[in-house]
Amino acid sequence: KPVAVEPRHLIQVEMFCHKYSTGSLPMLPDATTSTPVAKVSQYACQRRTTTANSNKIFTDAFEVLAESYEFNEMEGQSLAFRRAASVLRSLPSKIQSLRDAESLPFLGKHSIAVIEEILQCGFSMEVQKILSNERFKTLKLFMSVFGVGLKTAEKWYRKGLLSFTRGLFPTGFLHYGDISRAVSKAEAQALGNIIDETVHAITSDALLTLTGGFRRGKDFGHDVDFIVTTPEMGKEEHLLTAVIESLKHQGLILYCDYRASTFDMSRLPNHKFDAMDHFAKCFLILRLDGSRVEGGLCGAEGDGRGWRAVRVDLVSPPMKQYAFTLLGWTGSKQFERDLRRFAQKERHMLLDNHALYDKTKRELLAATTEQDIFAHLGLQYIEPCQRNA
Ligand code: DCT
Ligand code: MG
């Protein structure tokens, strides 16, 4: 059913640009106050990265550049900036001079030049230009719609659609205003309570775990991610469908995209990495009542509704794959990428959300906890709150 989109949603673009404009005073390089940076690993899984980012001014700029390269299908350059941003996020303090930056992994000529410009004048001309680029702004806006990726956004852009038109796009615009607004920790907690009650009313020994950004200690997220499973072998998919039924019954489901499991134990290991795992899952939009949220809804619109729509993902692996799923869904994306790269390059192993495979021994390595997986990889354990790479 088509959903009307109001012009106020176009404010998104402005808000986005505002988010990335620095607004702060120029920082001048000062050789006397700079401290030498300790040796930093090229792998995010060997770095500890909390949510306290001392280099936000640089990493925001790098993320814009990474995104711009991605929009132009220059994956190599895009990844280079994502890696450089990730390295800077792990540093305990702000970069004060070029000397600090030059010794770091993945900081090449281009990223160093951007840092230099920001150190000198507080912003990067190149980044400012991207942020005011019509195509970049439009793709960004289109991709802020749930379910719209680069391909669709590009198609719409080529058709000459510069902004949303009333009634044009059906499903993605369902509750657009609500789901383009960040979810708070208290809201995530409230959803956790609701789903926990629902799950345990179905199976008393079910296991529900909050994962994604909130497990890493973030205060806000674009959605809330949960793993739900049961020790009863082969019953996890049934549990997920029962949970969906119950949520529907409670009148909490505004949208549900259910994907049945395509997981096949006998086909492990996966030699080709899939972007998504094969477990049963659902992408939901749930109705969250303000009365369930401690301190009320985040940024309540004052429209008197007393509820908001929230994006929620549920994934349901068999208990045997629980630890791998937990590690995979906890993120961050950059942390996951580097875990897999480390496993492959340094240990000759294949890691994904289903399993860890030792290519030398030609065997799957079992794990019941995340600690087991880090140990198999010969890595120091990194707490979820230190995985904000
Ligand atoms: N993930 C992944 N590869 C993908 C998609 C997701 O490895 N293609 C993992 C990493 C994070 C986790 O799943 C949840 O995904 P998101 O919700 O997109 O990320 P998030 O870190 O929870 O971010 P946000 O706080 O914005 O929800
Ligand atoms: Mg998330």
Counting ligand 1 atoms within 8 A of each CB, the residue from 183, 210, 223 with the most, and so the one to mutate, is: 223
Lowest-confidence segment of 42-51, 243-252, 268-277 by average pLDDT: 268-277
Query: Which residue lies with its CA nearest to atom 21 of ligand 1?
Result: 213
pLDDT at 292: 94
Active site residue 100: no
Phi/psi of residue 93, each to 5°?
-145, 170
Is 222 close to ligand 1, i.e. is its CB under 6 Å away?
yes
Is the pLDDT confidence value at 300 over 80?
no
Q: Which residues contact 130 (CB under 8 A, 6 or more apart)?
A: 64, 65, 68, 136
Residues with CB under 5 A from ligand 2 (ion): 212-213, 221, 223, 225
Of 190, 172, 169, nearest in space to 180 by CA: 172
> Would you call 80 helix, strand, or coil by DSSP?
helix
User: How many A from CA of 225 to the centre of ligand 2?
Assistant: 5
What single DSSP character describes residue 165? -
Spatial separation of the C-alpha atoms in residues 24 and 122, rounded to whole Å: 7
pLDDT at 188: 98
* pLDDT 10s digits, 111-164: 999 999 999 999 999 999 999 999 999 999 989 888 899 999 999 888 877 666
Res. 26 pLDDT band, cuts 50 70 90: very low
Is the pLDDT confidence value at 252 over 60?
yes
Of 315, 313, 321, 314, nearest in space to 233 by CA: 321
Res. 173 pLDDT band, cuts 50 70 90: confident
* pLDDT 10s digits, 179-224: 889 999 999 999 999 999 999 999 999 999 999 999 999 999 999 9
- Among the atoms of ligand 1, which is closest to the Cα of residue 224? 27
pLDDT at 19: 32
Query: Which residue lies with its CA nearest to atom 4 of ligand 1?
Result: 275
Spatial separation of the C-alpha atoms in residues 336 and 67, rounded to whole Å: 19
Return the percentage of the chain with pLDDT > 90, whole number: 74
What single DSSP character describes residue 311? E
Sign (positive/negative) of CA torsion 171, 177, 180, 186? Answer: negative
The residues that bridge with 367 in the sheet, in sequence order, are: none
Query: Which residue lies with its CA nearest to atom 16 of ligand 1?
Result: 212
* pLDDT 10s digits, 311-332: 999 999 999 999 999 999 999 9
Is the pLDDT confidence value at 95 over 60?
yes
User: How many A from CA of 281 to the centre of ligand 1?
Assistant: 14
